[in-house]
Amino acid sequence: MELVLRYSRANQIEYDHKIEIANQKEWLSIISDPLLTSSVLTPTENRFVIVSNRYGRKHPHERNYSHNDLIIESYKEGCKEIAREISEKYTGAKCLIYAPLRGAYPIWKCISGYLTGITSVVYFPITSSFIFFPKEFNIVKSNGRPASCRYNNTRELKRLIPFLESFDVFLYVDEIVSGGMMRGHIKEMLSLKINDRLPIIAVGLADAFGVRSIANRAAINEYRLNRKLDSFIWKGCKKLITEDQKFLLGIHYVDYNIGPHIVPVLNGDLEYYPEKKMFDKIAFSAPNNNINSWNGFCNSI
């Protein structure tokens, strides 16, 4: 499989090194490097079994999942509306897309299929709050315990700062459940003064048509009203079914205590699970769904 590595001292935007990995032991030895900001392992023709106790159907979304065309169509329609608004407002712009893994990946992939008139480079940071840095890395909270990878948002943003002048806008895409994660990410972007370098567009697909995120969306909109954000573009859908659903996302973590390192979720035949294939067929059916990113990364997961 192919391993993409990103370091704090970046030599290019999407990744710094890309290598072929033969097995899980080799993968673990390479990602156990405190200088890494994050990594993503993607399937190639030569695949191997990944052993993890984190691959069970533990989340309610996974245990109770059943395929529903109407729910996926609602998801897709929200993304289409977002794409339409971006295309109208930012025609001709060169955009740096900031789409955190895991949740923003399918949203951006769906949106991108309907965009017109813009060019983009896509960056997939890893910022999951339930993943922690290894103790030996000494990346800690104020109480001395290992920091979660929520902190990695700041590290990923700092990595990108040298490249910002090459773009017209910084387009941050994410899922919205309560909206707290998006609000926190934007706060960190502003603390790093990303908005002094590039206009920031915040884009989100909201669960339950936004009913669960009213307070945080209002706070995010205040950033727009105060001109700290250039735009806040959000649309709702019936159900954000990809939230914490690794069998639909096709990506997850081997261990929650080894840092921000994404791996594929494959079945015993080393293929994606049927629910992902059925979701992808509907959600990513746009004719121009060919995201700009390293060697078709988006199309490989």
Q: Which residue has the tokens 């105060």?
A: 226
Dihedral Cα 266, 270, 276, 281, nearest 10 deg: 150
CA 240 to chain centre: 14
Domains of the chain: 67-284 (3.40.50.2300)
Decide: 52 and 258 in contact? Cβ < 8 Å: no
pLDDT in tens, 216-230: 999 999 999 999 999
The overall average pLDDT reported for the chain is: 92
Helix 69-89 × helix 104-112 angle, to 10° = 60
User: Residue 297: which pLDDT band, with cuts at 50, 70 and 90?
Assistant: low
Tens-place pLDDT, residues 70-112: 999 999 999 999 999 999 999 999 999 999 999 999 999 999 9
Quick one: tokens of 30? Answer: 């390479």
What pLDDT, on a 0 to 100 scale, did the predictor assign at position 146?
86
Note the pLDDT tens digit of each residue in 119-168.
999 999 999 999 999 988 888 877 878 889 899 999 999 999 999 999 99
On the question of pLDDT at 290 being above 60, the answer is: no
Question: Does 294 have pLDDT greater than 70?
Answer: no
